[in-house]
Every structure is written in C-alpha cells, then in structure tokens.
Copies of this chain bind each other. A is one copy, B any other.
Amino acid sequence: MSPKVRRQFSPVQFTNVTINDVFWTKRIKVNREQTLPFEYEQCKTTGRIDQFKPGFVPKGTQFTHMFNDSDVHKWLEAASYSLATHPDPKLKATVDEVVDLIVSAQQPDGYLHSFFTFVQPEMRWKNLRDNHELYTAGHLFEAAVAHFMATGERKLIDAACRFADHIDTMFGSEEGKKPGYCGHQEIELALVKLYSATGNEKYLKLSKFFIDERGKQPYYFDIEARERGEDPKDYWAKTYEYCQCHIPVREQDRVVGHAVRALYMYSGMADLAGEYGDEPLLNACNKLWDNVCLKNMYITGGIGPSAKNEGFTFDYDLPNESAYAETCASIALFLWNHRLLQLDCDSRYADVMERTIYNGIISGVSLDGRKFFYVNPLASVGDVQRQEWFACSCCPPNVARILASLGQYVYSTSDTDAVVHLYVQGTGKMNVAGQEITLTQTTEYPWDGNVRVGIDVPQPTKFGLRLRIPGWCKGATLKVNGEAVDLSGKIEKGYARIEREWKSGDSVELDLPMPVERVYSHPEVRQDMRHVALQRGPVVFCLEEADNDDSLFKVMLPKDAQLNASFQKDLLDGVVTITGEAVVVDQSGWEGQLYRTEPVKTKPYKFTAIPYFAWANRKIGKMVVWIPEA
C-alpha cells in the first residue's frame, strides 16, 4: 500500500497560534517558568541527564527504569516547544547542552539509548517485549522533530534519523531483519512525525511495519523469549493483551491492557490511517473509540481504572477511589482524538479532547507547576498527594509538552474550511482557500460560554468557518455580525458551519449557555449508581475537604438543590466554584453501633465544589467527584 493521504484536515501549527487567555495563559506561564526548570533539575539530580555521558556509572536506584532517557526526551520536546513561542536564552543554553549530551551518546551504528549502551549493552535488542528501547527511540524522535521545528538546528534530528535508519536495518519483514515491535508502543506515531518533518518515506513505512506486524503469530515476543532461554509463559504480565499484541491490530475492537501503550498505538494507527487511506485501520480506530469513549472513560477523561496493569479491566468498570487514570493515558487519549479529528471533523473527538484537557490532564500538575499526579483518582479518603517526581516519571514532562504546545490543538484547516475546535482567547493564523486568514477569539471560556471570533482576511474570501458546539451544551446560539443565524441545517457533525464570503472585520458570536449541569453515568457503571457529578461547561467539579469538612463521604445532593456558580478570583488562581445546600448524614444516635435497623437521618449541609483539576493544591484531605444524589 503506497501513501494515499486520507486526512482532509490539518492542525494549525502552534507557532501560528497565540494564546492570551484567562484560563491557559497563566498555566502556560507556570509551565514555562516553573515546570520546565524544575523538571530539568529533577532529571539532573536523579542522574537522568548524566546518564548520557559515555562511561557513566549509575548510582543507587536512579536507574529504576531502563527507559529513563525518555523523560529527558519528553522534557526536551517540551522545552523546544516553549522556545518556539517564547525565546529564552537561558533555556536555549540548557537545551543545547542536553542535545549535545544526547548526541554524544550515539553509537557509531546510530544506536542511542544510554541504558543499553552503558549499563546492559549485551541486552541491546534482545527483549523488545520489556525493554522499551523502541519506545525510548520514539520519544527521542518526537523531541528531535520539536527541536528542529523550534530552532531550525539539525543536530538532534540528524541523530534521530541515524538512529531510525539503524532501527530500519534491524526491524522489518525483509530477510535478515527481525520481525519485532516494541512492548511499549510509541515509536509508531513518532516515526510518522519524523517522516513528516523529513519527508523520508522510509520512516512512514517502518511505522506501518510495526503496526502491521503486531499481533501476528507466531508471536515475536515468544520467539524472542525462547532466544533468551526463557519460557514465554513466564511473561510477568501474563497476557499479550497487556501490550495489545494478542491479535493483529486491525482486528482489535476492545480496549485491553496497559492504557498508555494502547492509546499511543491507536494514535499511530490513526496517523497511518490518514497517511495511507487505510480503511481497515480507521475502522479499527472507530470500533476502539466506541469502546474506549463510551464504555471505559471517566468523566474527567481519565482512562485505565486499574493499578494492576496500569490499564483496563472490563467495560463500565470505573472505580473512583482506586481509579488509576494515569496522566499520560489521558494525554494519549487527547492525542489520539486530535488525530482522528483531522480524518473526520466530528465534534465527538474534540469533545473528548476538551474533556481531558480541562480535567484529567491538567489535574496532573499542581497550580504552582512543581508537583505532579501520576494517578488521578476521582475520590480520595485523604491519602493522596502530588509528588515532585516519580521513579517512573513519564507523566510530568508529558504534561509539560502538552501545555507548551497547546496552540496546536485549537484550530484545523481544510482546503475550504477553517475550524475552531477549542475555545481559547487569542489568534490563529492559517491558510484557507488560498488566503492567509487570522481568527481572533475573544472569550472567558471555560468560565463563560460567550465566544466572539473575529475574522481578518487579506481580501474578501469565501470559506467555511466551523465552530464546535460542545457536546455538553444545549441551546447554543450564533450571530454573524450581530445578526442571529438559525443553526438548523447548519450543524455538521457537531460543528456549526457558516460558509460565506468573509471580509475583515466580520465577526461571529457564539453563545454557549453554561449552567451547572448534573451529570449521570451509564447505569452499567455500578460505582456511580445513584451518584451525580457537577459539570459546568467542560469543567468537572469535585468537593474537596479544604472547602468543606471531612464529612464529604456522607454528603448527599438532593435532586432539587439550588446550585450557584460564581467566579472566585482569589481562590486557586481564579476558578468558578459551585455552592449550594446539600444534606449530610446526622451521625448522632449511632454510638456503639456499626449496624442498625433504623434508617439514616440527614441534616442540611452547605457545600462548595471546585474544579476537579484544581484539587490537591491545598492541605491534604478528602475529595469526591461523584456525589450521592438524595
């Protein structure tokens, strides 16, 4: 199959998007000024930087994971994005130093992975199942592409290409190459990026090989295990569902195993479906989308409920306290949906992106940018705290790279249309219908649902402007130059599409009513039975002990409770809170009893809910998203 591009939409590059937004600007600033330097320091003090030095000897437990290189790669990717929008000589100097170090560790044959160069060279390419070598390579490629785009410098991307060339000599269906693929997917999507940046079709084909080969029998991981003298049955994860190679990729229709592995793979599949017009691959993505997003996704956009496999269990199993919902998994879900959105401009994909980015992704980093969640539970009895770093520290730099490149996800274009997916105040410059147009959003989203989109065109130009009507919104209205437009017949796959000859000074005003909504889970989600969550716009709320008291698990929300939303500028860097009157169990009369036949009584309880993403930024305490409904 030769490349036959199916993708009709392309993201507007974040370098063409400015963000000047009530919600995002401060978080991106914190990301740039706090998170990036802090994460570099963490990489430094944990030996992750020095490990690239030839002859480096690991000390203590810093090599807790053989894929520590990838944390540095992801940090470098994030730093490069930041340099692209916010030049910073000091950060640039650090980036240069890190690039030099990484490149210095490259071997003559192109191999570039510190652990299997300096610590266990004898294991190179011997255990693709467990050793994350191709995964780490993938993050190197993503960093290299970002670095090249940000700086125009070729040093890192050339090294990445040499490594990719080496990998291409090692793996493939040709005689003499190994028919292997990675136990932790990532390289598939990264090779597509490397292809896009370099135009070298070899990388695209290699990505396709990895996707096509996966799950074929006899299993490569079986063969490889036997070559190591191991019994494949002794695989610690017990099933190849763990890394989604139990069956060929195109036959997969149920999300299984490790969440990040799964969703990175699906992202690669969407990339390849777009590049090759590969319908079976797209069909698999669509089936998997239904399974993930309609049966296995938390209201926060978290996925993968179980700590045991860092992943999936069975449909509708969404425990709250023990939710794993790894930050990286939400990011992967975001990335996958962004790719699908370019193939099919359907708001359901952007809805998932919005759900993750306002909830389960940014919950992964504290407001001060220096503490992180790896796991994002939806309830806590008060034993959960953000950490400064992790032994496996994939999540912190992953959030950093998303925030540093957030503009990437706001707009798309096709030949004829400009599309607004996310509502973020600022501008987007893009080419549509042969013209460079600029869209300027004015909004206080997500706190307010009014969005004005100003159009600037060099000359009057006919094109379609698509504005997403979020799935959470009922009764959206739209005006063009102050005049109401009847949206009936104008909604295409969840986007309002206005096609006309636009001229500079035109504006569209979209009004998205944003009342507090009570949200219910599908009845098969047994953990949320008779519970309600509060959502306003895309933001999911929670009750946190800091605003209430420690009786959170005894609070119930009557069906008719009045709910009041108001912006609190001094709280948690400025958030909307929801207050109202609930009820709490009256515990009097329970002394000396654990069980009794008299029903529980309640008394009034004033509560304050805050956005979920902002929890765990104050004193440690209880938290609940799903509130029992009385």
User: Taking beta carbons and an 8 Å cutoff, which residues of A are in contact with B?
Assistant: 293-295, 297, 299, 314, 317, 381, 517-526, 529-530, 533, 553-554, 556, 559, 585, 587, 590, 592-600, 628
Please state if A519 and B596 are interface contacts (CB–CB under 8 Å).
yes
Q: How far is the CB of A130 from chain B (nearest CB, A)?
A: 24
Q: How far is the CA of A595 from the CA of B525 in the complex (A)?
A: 10
Contacts A293-B594, A530-B530, A595-B299 hold; do A587 and B524 have CB atoms under 8 A apart? yes
Please state if B519 and A600 are interface contacts (CB–CB under 8 Å).
no
Can you spell out 14 A-B residue pairs with CB atoms less than 8 angstroms apart? A294-B594, A297-B594, A314-B381, A317-B381, A521-B594, A522-B587, A522-B593, A522-B594, A523-B554, A523-B590, A526-B553, A529-B553, A529-B628, A530-B600
A523 contact from B381, B519, B529, B587, Cβ within 8 A? B587
Q: How far is the CA of A599 from the CA of B314 in the complex (A)?
A: 24
Residue of B nearest to A622 (CB): B526
Q: How far is the CA of A293 from the CA of B521 in the complex (A)?
A: 35
Q: How far is the CA of A352 from the CA of B317 in the complex (A)?
A: 34
Please state if A595 and B520 are interface contacts (CB–CB under 8 Å).
yes
A628 contact from B524, B530, B559, B590, Cβ within 8 A? B530
Please state if A593 and B628 are interface contacts (CB–CB under 8 Å).
no
Contacts A294-B592, A592-B294 hold; do A520 and B598 have CB atoms under 8 A apart? yes
Oligomer: number of copies: 2
Q: How far is the CB of A523 from chain B (nearest CB, A)?
A: 4
Contacts of A525 in B (CB 8 A): 594
Contacts of A517 in B (CB 8 A): 597
Contacts of A297 in B (CB 8 A): 594
Q: How far is the CA of A369 from the CA of B403 in the complex (A)?
A: 61
Please state if B585 and A556 are interface contacts (CB–CB under 8 Å).
no
Q: How far is the CB of A539 from chain B (nearest CB, A)?
A: 14
Contacts of A559 in B (CB 8 A): 599
Q: How far is the CA of A453 from the CA of B592 in the complex (A)?
A: 31
Contacts of A526 in B (CB 8 A): 381, 553-554
Q: How far is the CA of A521 from the CA of B599 in the complex (A)?
A: 9
Contacts A529-B553, A529-B628, A530-B556 hold; do A595 and B519 have CB atoms under 8 A apart? yes
Q: How far is the CA of A317 from the CA of B526 in the complex (A)?
A: 19
Residue of B nearest to A290 (CB): B592
Q: How far is the CA of A529 from the CA of B320 in the complex (A)?
A: 15
Please state if A594 and B295 are interface contacts (CB–CB under 8 Å).
yes
A554 contact from B294, B381, B524, B590, Cβ within 8 A? B524
Contacts of A522 in B (CB 8 A): 587, 590, 593-595
Q: How far is the CA of A446 from the CA of B401 in the complex (A)?
A: 65
Counting chain B CB atoms within 10 Å of each CB, the highest count among A594, A596, A598 belongs to: A594
Contacts of A556 in B (CB 8 A): 529-530
Please state if A597 and B529 are interface contacts (CB–CB under 8 Å).
no
Contacts of A554 in B (CB 8 A): 523-524, 526, 529
Given contacts A529-B556, A530-B600, 15 further A-B contacts (CB under 8 A): A297-B594, A314-B381, A519-B596, A520-B595, A521-B594, A522-B587, A522-B595, A524-B553, A524-B587, A525-B594, A526-B553, A526-B554, A529-B554, A530-B530, A559-B599
Q: How far is the CB of A78 from chain B (nearest CB, A)?
A: 31
Q: How far is the CB of A306 from chain B (nearest CB, A)?
A: 12
7 A-B pairs closest in CB distance = A526-B553, A523-B585, A517-B597, A294-B594, A522-B594, A523-B554, A519-B595
Q: How far is the CB of A86 from chain B (nearest CB, A)?
A: 37
Q: How far is the CA of A519 from the CA of B597 in the complex (A)?
A: 4
Residue of B nearest to A313 (CB): B381
Contacts of A628 in B (CB 8 A): 529-530
Q: How far is the CA of A520 from the CA of B600 in the complex (A)?
A: 7
Q: How far is the CB of A594 from chain B (nearest CB, A)?
A: 5
Q: How far is the CA of A357 from the CA of B267 in the complex (A)?
A: 55
A294 contact from B299, B593, B600, Cβ within 8 A? B593
Q: How far is the CB of A222 from chain B (nearest CB, A)?
A: 23
Q: How far is the CB of A548 from chain B (nearest CB, A)?
A: 15
Contacts of A381 in B (CB 8 A): 314, 317, 526
Q: How far is the CB of A420 from chain B (nearest CB, A)?
A: 24
